[in-house]
Amino acid sequence: SQTIHQWPATLVQPVGSPLSLECTVEGTSNPNLYWYRQAAGRGLQLLFYSVGIGQISSEVPQNLSASRPQDRQFILSSKKLLLSDSGFYLCAWSGGQLNEKLFFGSGTQLSVL
Amino acid sequence: DQQVKQNSPSLSVQEGRISILNCDYTNSMFDYFLWYKKYPAEGPTFLISISSIKDKNEDGRFTVFLNKSAKHLSLHIVPSQPGDSAVYFCAASENRGSYQLTFGKGTKLSVIP
């Protein structure tokens, strides 16, 4: 069966520090991978998605970047965090044509202070 | 601009009664709708979906109704159970192959024993 791992679960970082969140998927090959963010009082917002190694699409301009160095690994990064980067970050995957049926990781609560 | 709106941030229901969660959308191009359920400290999980060619889809205790003319959908849970207590997100996409899901802000359901 497929599983998705996301870490860390919580993270407190100072403004201006770098960020690296990692997500890996097991039990499937060539998944579509996604990074979502839920800011306080808001819905889930798609940040990035990837349909293959090295292929990244960004949905909103921001202070963050994503990379997919391996088929089942998706990384969310920032060189310098802003206060507005605080939020709940979720990695997700989907397969085949049913891109809307997402399987989410457990999320990372990021607090930028 | 919120294209998917869940106007009730919270809802309390007695165990055994019906829970009705509502969702409105503004984008007439949306043609596929989903509900996700989220427990604290976990990622959302897919619950049920409906295509715009239908007006009802049922899965056990969960039924989703779609009113395209009103741009409104609802999730009915009958009978409600304490384990249903969670945040429910409504989501929509412009087609089933789309990588972009637009989520509402969520409704927190509390089922009181």
Domains of chain B: 4-112 (2.60.40.10)
Q: Does A61 touch chain B (CB under 8 A)?
A: no
* Of residues B91, B102, B105, nearest to A41 (C-beta): B105
Q: What is the distance between the alpha carbons of residues B76 and A36, in angstroms, rounded to a whole number?
A: 27
**Phi and psi for B101 in degrees, rounded to 5?**
-105, 135
| Residue A96: band (very low, low, confident or very high) from pLDDT cuts 50, 70, 90 | low
Residue A17 neighbours by CB under 8 Å, 6+ apart: A80, A81
B103/A45 touch (CB, cutoff 8 Å), yes or no: yes
A106/B43 touch (CB, cutoff 8 Å), yes or no: yes
Residue among A100, A76, A67 at smallest CA distance from A19: A76
Mean pLDDT of chain B: 93
- Percent helix, strand, coil in chain B, to 5, is 5, 55, 45
Q: What is the distance between the alpha carbons of residues A41 and B102, in angstroms, rounded to a whole number?
A: 15
Question: Mean pLDDT throughout B5-34?
Answer: 95
A99/B91 touch (CB, cutoff 8 Å), yes or no: no
Does residue B98 carry a pLDDT above 80?
A: no
Torsion angle defined by CA atoms of residues B5, B43, B53 and B56, in that order, rounded to the nearest 10 degrees: -80
Q: Does A40 touch chain B (CB under 8 A)?
A: no
Tell me what pLDDT residue A97 has: 61
A100/B34 touch (CB, cutoff 8 Å), yes or no: yes
Structure token digits, residue A15: 């403004």
Tell me what pLDDT residue A62 has: 78
A100/B103 touch (CB, cutoff 8 Å), yes or no: no
Does residue B96 carry a pLDDT above 70?
A: no
Interface test with A, best of B34, B38, B99 (most A CBs within 10 A): B99
Where does A3-112 sit in CATH, by number?
2.60.40.10
* Of residues B46, B93, B96, nearest to A97 (C-beta): B96
Tens-digit pLDDT profile for residues B7-17:
999 999 999 99
